């Protein structure tokens, strides 16, 4: 098969890795389960597509606007999370999919159900990016995402979010400003998702309301759960494997929602921390193996 | 006008019939049982195949569907939630979402993605007056919903089973210490709430004369909206909220200038209620 096919698969893998890492901030760290991530993804894609086609901006000029707008809308849509407990947040995020999809579909300002076509590819060094160039661009954004979210995972912000996710009342009594960090989580997470959306829109060249449905939100969540919530390595592995399987085994394509659903049930039931999460069987084994090679003392029960 | 009102009552009864199961499960376990939507669709499909097998007899189909969904509900509890009661809240939630999606896909694989007609013969009379007309399906929905609510009231208020639920709702560990068979109480709760969802599935299939794999999605999200509006775990509030949502939908849907899709209304209502009255319209403080 031509190299172009691998590059295309690679670009989508990269985009979904960015999405999964962004969901990891919200669901992995702050423990706010979101089934509306495709909505933020879609808002990013639509913003970028509209700015470039209707208002004549280039990809690079539109990108900062995309980040600002998605972060702003993410904050706005995250407001219900300040008032409701974990489980009912999920409902309002499911609703997000339908509301955002409905707005895109029913208002002619957003192109209606015909969507927006003719989104130009980004230009670099004076010429439009080809397949190879786009792959490298996606890779660059993915590495940037990994680095920034790794940096974030070493800051106070992540600790505060995890504390808040475990027990809100205890976190409050330790002096953590819960509403502030919840809003942060939503803003950060949706800004990353917006970047992924912009990358997607310019690669595919068109956006339709149906591209950002509830099914896609479920797919992103199951990638994260499969790989391991709360870790960047888990998010990467989950997105990588769940994008790879349908390509390797074509017949899975028909059953992919069944696979996503099944993964959510089985993983959570037997390995709630995912394949590579903290304390999972696989990760413990890897750590044990690494220590053995290094020759250091083997300690049981540490992670 | 009266006709619209009656249509809204019919719609609202099915919403509250599904929502009541969710409310019961949420009240006792504090689990958001999203897979309830799958149980509802299961009821419709079992009803459909029972119709094929028993010469389109509606009543046999209804009873079989209710039994099967009741058992399915108990299985879901014993096979899944039972192991997750001590885990953090996120765990049962995600597995419930997964189960719902997997169920929906299984229906699609086994029964095909197409809408199937629901050719039931119930023998229920059609009501026709000069002001309004009630088809036999609509009449059946109103009567059966009323009967099941009455039965549920009696169970909750007058029997030991209901007493057990109320105790578990207060404090599960304490209830166990006081000699309530907690497991049996929860299993019964799942049995009855799933039975109601199955009945709702059959009734909805009869009303719309169609069964399809994703029929659970929309209606059941609306059931969640009803649960939230009704104030979590409050059975009376749930019934009122179901009717209220149906009225709002019916009348907003009739306005000329209101172009927003009808199904999105429920979510707008949900999000605004969650922001302004997080305990629900009829919630206790």
Q: In this predicted model, what pLDDT tens digit does every residue of A69-126 receive, in sequence order?
A: 999 998 888 777 777 666 677 777 877 887 888 788 877 777 777 778 878 777 777 6
Enumerate residues 6+ apart whose C-beta is below 8 A from B59. Answer: B122
Q: A76 to chain B nearest CA, in Å?
A: 12
Dump pLDDT digits (tens) for A135-146. 888 999 999 999
Question: For residue B267, which residues of chain A lie inside 8 Å, CB to CB?
Answer: 92, 94-96, 98-99
Name the residue of chain A whose CA is nearest to B30's CA: A87
CA distance A197 to A48: 8
Closest among B213, B221, B202 to B109, alpha carbons compared: B213
Which residue carries 């319209």 as its tokens? Answer: B281
> What's the pLDDT tens digit per position in B26-82?
888 878 888 888 899 999 999 988 888 888 788 888 889 999 999 999 999 888 888
Which pLDDT band holds residue B263 (cuts at 50, 70, 90)?
A: low
Q: Which of B31, B260, B275 sits opposite A79 (nearest CB)?
A: B275
Contact predicate A276/A239, CB 8 Å: no
Q: What confidence tier does B262 reach under pLDDT thresholds 50, 70, 90?
A: low
Q: How confident is the model at residue B257 (pLDDT cuts 50, 70, 90)?
A: low
Distance CA(B122)–CA(B102), nearest Å, equals: 32
Cβ neighbours of A95 (radius 10 Å) = 26
B88 touches A: beta carbon within 8 Å: yes
Please name the member of B84, B89, B271 whose beta carbon is closest to the beta carbon of A92: B271
Q: Does B271 touch chain A (CB under 8 A)?
A: yes
**Cβ of B264 and A90 within 8 Å?**
no
For the stretch B90-105, pLDDT in tens is 788 888 888 888 888 8
Segment 17-56 of chain B within 8 Å of chain A by CB: 30-32, 34
CA distance A291 to chain B (A): 30
Neighbours of A290 (CB within 10 A): 10
pLDDT of A1 above 70: no
Say what the pLDDT of residue A287 is: 82
Q: How far is CA B204 from CA A184, B12, B198, B220, B239, in A?
A: 43, 11, 10, 12, 17
**Exposed (0-12), middle (13-18) or buried (19+): which is A250, by Cβ within 10 Å?**
exposed
Q: What is the DSSP letter of B121?
A: B
Mean pLDDT taken over chain A: 83
Cα–Cα distance between A128 and A110 in angstroms, integer?
25
Q: Please give the angle made by the CA atoms of B227, B169 and A80, to the nearest 5 degrees.
A: 40
Query: How far B128 CA lies from chain A's nearest CA (Å)?
Result: 38
Q: Which of B95, B221, B232, B283 to mutate to test the interface with A (most CBs of A within 10 A)?
A: B95
Minimal Cα distance from A103: which residue of B? Answer: B260
Q: What percent of chain B has pLDDT over 70?
A: 92
Return the pLDDT at B22.
Answer: 85
Sign (positive or negative) of CA dihedral A213, A219, A225, A230: negative
By CB atoms closer than 10 A (0-12, 13-18, 19+), residue A211 is buried
Q: How far is A166 from chain B (nearest CA, A)?
A: 8
Q: Best of A88, A96, A162, A163 to disrupt the B interface by mutation (most B CBs within 10 Å)?
A: A88
Contact A90 B32 (CB under 8 A): yes
C-alpha distances in angstroms, A97 versus A34, A52, A183, A217, B32? Answer: 11, 24, 19, 8, 19
Cβ distance A262 to B98 less than 8 Å, yes or no, reads yes
Task: Categorize the per-residue pLDDT at B280 as very low, low, confident or very high, splitting at 50, 70 and 90.
Answer: low
- DSSP letter string over chain B? -HHHHHHHHHHHHHHHHHHHHHHHHHHHH----TTHHHHHHHHHHHHHHHHHHTTTBHHHHHHHHHHHHHHHHHHHHHHTGGGGTTS-THHHHHHHHHHHHHHHHHHHHHH-SS-B----B--PPPEE-SS-EE-HHHHHHHHHHHHHHHHHHHHHHHSHHHHHHHHHHH-HHHHHHTT--HHHHHHHHHHHHHHHHHHHHHHHHHHHT-B-TTHHHHHHHHHHHHHHHHTSS-HHHHHHHHHHHHHHHHHHHH-SS--S-HHHHHHHHHHHHHHH-TT-TT---
Instruction: With a cut of 70, say whether residue B283 has pLDDT above it.
Output: no
pLDDT digits (tens, 9 = 90+) for A12-21: 999 999 999 9
Closest CA to B14 of B233, B251, B229, B205: B205
Rounded (5°) CA angle B258-B262-B266:
115
Q: Kindly give, in sequence order, each residue whose CB lies less than 8 Å from that of residue A115, ignoring residues fewer than 6 positions away.
A: A206, A207, A208, A209, A211
> Which of A163, A122, A168, A175 is CA-nearest to residue A29?
A163
HSE, side-chain direction, 13 A CA sphere, residue A301: 0
CB contact under 8 A, B84 and A262: no
Q: Chain-wide mean pLDDT for chain B?
A: 82
Nearest CB neighbour to B89, from listed A84, A87, A99: A87
CB contact under 8 A, B225 and A106: no
Please tell me if residue B85 touches chain A, with a CB cutoff of 8 Å.
Answer: no
Distance from chain centroid for Cα A41: 8
**Helix, strand or coil, per DSSP, at residue A246:** helix
For residue A272, give both structure tokens.
Answer: 């709630």
- Cβ-defined contact of A87 to B274 (cutoff 8 Å): no
Closest residue to B90, CB basis, from A31, A91, A105: A31
Q: Report whether A174 contacts A86 (CB < 8 A).
A: no
Contact A261 B90 (CB under 8 A): no
Residue in chain B nearest A79 by alpha carbon:
B275
β-pairing, A127-128 with B127-128? unpaired
* Lookup: tokens for B231: 């104030």
Residue of A95 and B14 predicted with greater confidence: B14
Binding-face residues of B in 205-234 toward A, CB within 8 A: 217, 221, 224-225, 228
Selecting from A95, A218, A222 the residue whose C-beta is nearest the C-beta of B271 gives A95
Instruction: Give how far A81 is from chain B: nearest CA, Å.
Output: 8
Inspect the interface and report whether the beta carbons of B102 and A91 lie closer than 8 Å: no
Please name the residue of chain B whose CA is at the shortest distance from the CA of residue A271: B91
A278 Cα to chain B: minimum distance (Å): 15
End-to-end C-alpha distance for chain B, whole angstroms: 36
**Cβ contacts of B124-131, under 8 Å, gap ≥ 24:** B131/B2, B131/B3
Render B46-89 in DSSP notation, one character per residue.
HHHHHHHHTTTBHHHHHHHHHHHHHHHHHHHHHHTGGGGTTS-T
Farthest CA pair distance, chain B = 60
Candidates B83, B99, B270; nearest CB to A92:
B270
**Cβ contact (<8 Å) for B97 and A221?**
yes
Chain A residues touching chain B at CB-CB below 8 Å: 27, 31, 33, 35, 79-80, 83-84, 86-88, 90-92, 94-96, 98-99, 102, 105-106, 166, 214, 218, 221-222, 225, 255, 257-258, 260-265, 268-269, 272
pLDDT in tens, B189-238: 899 999 999 999 988 888 888 888 888 877 777 888 888 887 776 778 88
Q: Is the pLDDT of residue B118 over 70?
A: yes
Distance between B110 CA and the closest CA of chain A, angstroms: 12
């Amino acid at each position: 098969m031509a190299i172009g096919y691998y590059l295309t698969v690679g670009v989508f893998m990269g985009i979904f890795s960015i999405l999964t890492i962004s969901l990891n901030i919200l669901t992995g760290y702050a423990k706010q389960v979101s089934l509306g991530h495709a909505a933020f993804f879609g808002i990013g894609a639509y913003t970028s597509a509209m700015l470039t086609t209707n208002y004549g901006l280039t990809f690079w000029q539109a990108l900062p606007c995309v980040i600002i707008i998605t972060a702003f809308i993410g904050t706005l849509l995250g407001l219900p999370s300040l008032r409701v407990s974990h489980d009912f947040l999920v409902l309002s995020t499911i609703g997000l999919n339908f509301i955002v999809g409905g707005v895109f579909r029913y208002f002619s300002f957003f192109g209606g159900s015909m969507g927006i076509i003719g989104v130009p590819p980004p230009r670099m060094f004076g010429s439009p990016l080809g397949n190879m160039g786009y792959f490298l661009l996606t890779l660059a954004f993915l590495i940037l995402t990994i680095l920034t979210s790794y940096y974030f995972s070493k800051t106070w912000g992540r600790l505060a979010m995890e504390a808040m996710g475990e027990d809100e009342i205890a976190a409050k009594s330790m002096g953590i400003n819960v509403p502030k960090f919840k809003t942060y989580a939503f803003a950060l997470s949706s800004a990353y998702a917006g970047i992924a959306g912009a990358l997607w829109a310019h690669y595919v060249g068109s956006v339709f309301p149906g591209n950002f449905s509830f099914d896609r939100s479920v797919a992103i969540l199951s990638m994260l759960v499969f790989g391991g919530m709360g870790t960047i390595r888990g998010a990467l592995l989950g997105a990588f494997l769940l994008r790879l399987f349908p390509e390797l085994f074509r017949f899975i394509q028909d059953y992919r929602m069944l696979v996503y659903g099944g993964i959510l049930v089985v993983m959570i039931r037997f390995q709630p921390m995912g394949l590579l999460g903290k304390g999972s069987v696989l990760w413990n084994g890897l750590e044990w193996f690494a220590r053995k090679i290094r020759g250091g003392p083997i300690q049981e029960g540490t992670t | 006008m009266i006709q619209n009102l009656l249509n809204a009552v019919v719609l609202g009864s099915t919403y509250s019939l599904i929502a009541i199961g969710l409310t019961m499960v949420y009240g006792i376990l504090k689990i958001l049982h999203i897979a309830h939507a799958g149980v509802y669709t299961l009821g419709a499909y079992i009803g459909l195949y029972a119709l094929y097998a028993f010469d389109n007899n509606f009543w046999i189909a209804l009873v079989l569907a209710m039994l099967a969904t009741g058992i399915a509900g108990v299985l879901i509890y014993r096979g899944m939630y039972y192991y997750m009661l001590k885990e953090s809240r996120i765990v049962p939630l995600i597995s419930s979402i997964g189960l719902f999606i997997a169920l929906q896909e299984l229906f699609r694989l086994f029964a095909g993605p197409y809408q199937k007609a629901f050719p039931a013969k119930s023998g229920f009379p059609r009501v026709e007056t000069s002001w309004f007309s009630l088809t036999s399906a609509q009449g059946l929905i109103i009567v059966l919903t009323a009967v099941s609510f009455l039965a549920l009231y009696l169970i909750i208020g007058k029997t030991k089973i209901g007493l057990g639920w109320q105790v578990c709702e207060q404090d599960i560990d304490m209830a166990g210490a006081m000699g309530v068979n907690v497991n049996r109480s929860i299993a019964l709760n799942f049995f009855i709430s799933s039975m109601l969802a199955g009945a709702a599935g059959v009734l909805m299939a009869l009303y719309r004369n169609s069964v399809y794999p994703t029929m659970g999605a929309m209606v059941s999200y609306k059931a969640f909206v009803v649960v939230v509006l009704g104030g979590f775990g409050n059975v009376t509030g749930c019934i009122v909220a179901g009717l209220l949502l149906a009225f709002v939908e019916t009348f907003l849907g009739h306005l000329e200038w209101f172009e927003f899709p009808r199904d999105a209304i429920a979510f707008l209502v949900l999000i605004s209620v969650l922001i302004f009255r997080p305990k629900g319209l009829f919630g206790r403080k």
